[in-house]
Chains A and B, each alone.
Chain A
Amino acid sequence: MTDAISAEEIAVEISGLSKWFGTFQVLKDISLTSHYGEKIVICGPSGSGKSTLVRCINRLEVHQQGSIRVGGVEIDGSRAATEKIRAEIGMVFQQFNLFPHLSVLQNLTLGPMKTRGLTRKAAEERAMHYLERVRIPEQAQKRPAQLSGGQQQRVAIARSLCMDARILLFDEPTSALDPEMIAEVLDVIRDLAADGMTMIVVTHEMGFARSAADRMVFMDGGEIVETGPTGAFFDNPRSARCQRFLDQILRH
């Protein structure tokens, strides 16, 4: 990392984070700092705790040890803190999680109208703006079930953009997609990255990671095994575990 980036404002600061599901420790003493504008990709075998880590950042999971600060606000379990950090963070899920009983447009306007106090007209204008951004304005009146998986995921991305989030979390955004739809979603994410959005992305798409990430994080067994600038990470990984993982995933 260059000094120019590290000197910038800190977006997410995780230190000494541990979490248990029952007696099983999913996260072990995780420390990770992300700056505004930075794109971090987290990879690792399944069950390594990547998703749990990302879900802790917006309090979808409760951590038991350590601290997480988002935009300077510590997630301490209080309602005020949780509301504050959720206003700062948008999230895109593996299963899209669009609201099936609402139209695409209503999916996008619900949050701004109910939590940001926008009028219907303003919320719809904003929604159409972001639908154009993800290149599906013509689907606004349809229901999610009428769209392809790739289109649904792009709507989900637009939904979090409508909330004016400064940080976007992606939890395996292309893992539930048919192969031919992965590219259209990754293209949208890449565009956002190019525009300077702060991102933390959990993904197995290493081609995407190489082209979009500033920094790579490799997790295994609940801990961060290796982290480094994208180029160095792919070209000469230091740890044996990381090497093995990259070999397996890049072979095909």
Chain B
Amino acid sequence: MKKLWLLAPLLLLMGCGGEPGTWGWYVIDPTTPAGATNVRFLVGGFWATIQLSVLAAVLSMALGLLVALPGLSSNWAVRLPSRIYIEFVRSIPLLPLLFWVFYGLPVILRQMGYPVSFDPFWGAVITLAISDSAFTAEIYRAGIQSIPRGQTEAAQTIGLRYTQTMRYVVLPQAIRRILPPLANQFIYIVKMSAFASVIGMQELTRRANELVVTEYRPLEIYTLLVLEYLVLVLIISFFVRWLERKMGSDERV
């Protein structure tokens, strides 16, 4: 019975092929010259997706920390801007945010006397970083709040200032707890980087879309696209596992 269920998506796939009932795997068959060219074209998007995701993730982690720290203040006036930023930014869908940043921001900046325009790459990096920073900020907050108050108090009694307490006592402990959800968020960025295709960036999804337009074989091409993202995500997962093991061993000895 279970095996029959496995067949269900396959039936669906066959039904949706270019010509009913047939597969068109030839479009991405690397043993034929045309197929090999197509595969090379699709795989050529890897580097752009990686660059985009890594840069956006690094920026969002930095921005997220800057947003999270004031959010932990005991003073509500300091806390408020952080709270507003998080609530506002995380509720904006990615697509409109991308348009605001890529098309809207240069207009505003030009009116203010700064004639700048982003290329699609930087437009996408900034958008992803902003959007994601609201989520990473919440991850940081949860992680930092999970460290017992006594740790901060002990740091204060030996004279450490706020930034020293964070740097030497709280964050090194929090990072171990923050790492898994942060990795989750990174994987999310990798997949959301597909939105960059909308503003014309030649990453994995854009290339797949372009090939679909000329080959009329969306199912086969998108299947390869799924596999491409799968490879990226698996690499991240293994890397994070390794990192966790390394850090975990540090604490428990």
Contacts and interface: CB of A to CB of B under 8 A. Distances in A.
9 contacts: A60-B153, A91-B157, A93-B150, A93-B153, A100-B251, A114-B159, A116-B159, A146-B253, A160-B157
Interface in A62-104: 83, 86-87, 89-91, 93, 95, 97-101
Given A97-B150, A99-B169, A110-B160, 14 more contacts: A60-B153, A86-B159, A87-B159, A89-B157, A90-B157, A91-B153, A91-B154, A93-B154, A97-B153, A99-B173, A110-B168, A111-B159, A145-B252, A159-B154
B158 A160 contact: yes
Contacts of A143: 251, 253
B150 A163 contact: no
Nearest to B153: A60
A145 B253 contact: yes
Contacts of B251: 100-101, 143, 145
Interface of A: 58, 60, 83, 86-87, 89-91, 93, 95, 97-101, 110-111, 114-116, 142-143, 145-146, 156, 159-160, 163
Interface of B: 148, 150-151, 153-161, 164, 168-169, 172-173, 250-253
A111 B169 CA distance: 11
**Which applies to chain B's interface (DSSP): helix, strand, loop or mixed?**
helix
B156 A60 contact: yes
B245 to A, nearest CB: 16
A115 B153 contact: no
Contacts of B155: 99
Q: Which 10 A-B pairs have the closest CB atoms?
A: A111-B158, A115-B159, A97-B154, A97-B150, A91-B157, A101-B172, A143-B253, A101-B173, A95-B150, A60-B153
Contacts of B250: 101
Nearest to A86: B159
Nearest to A159: B158
B173 A100 contact: yes
Contacts of A159: 154, 158
Contacts of A60: 153, 156-157
Contacts of A115: 158-161, 164
A174 B157 CA distance: 19
B159 A83 contact: yes
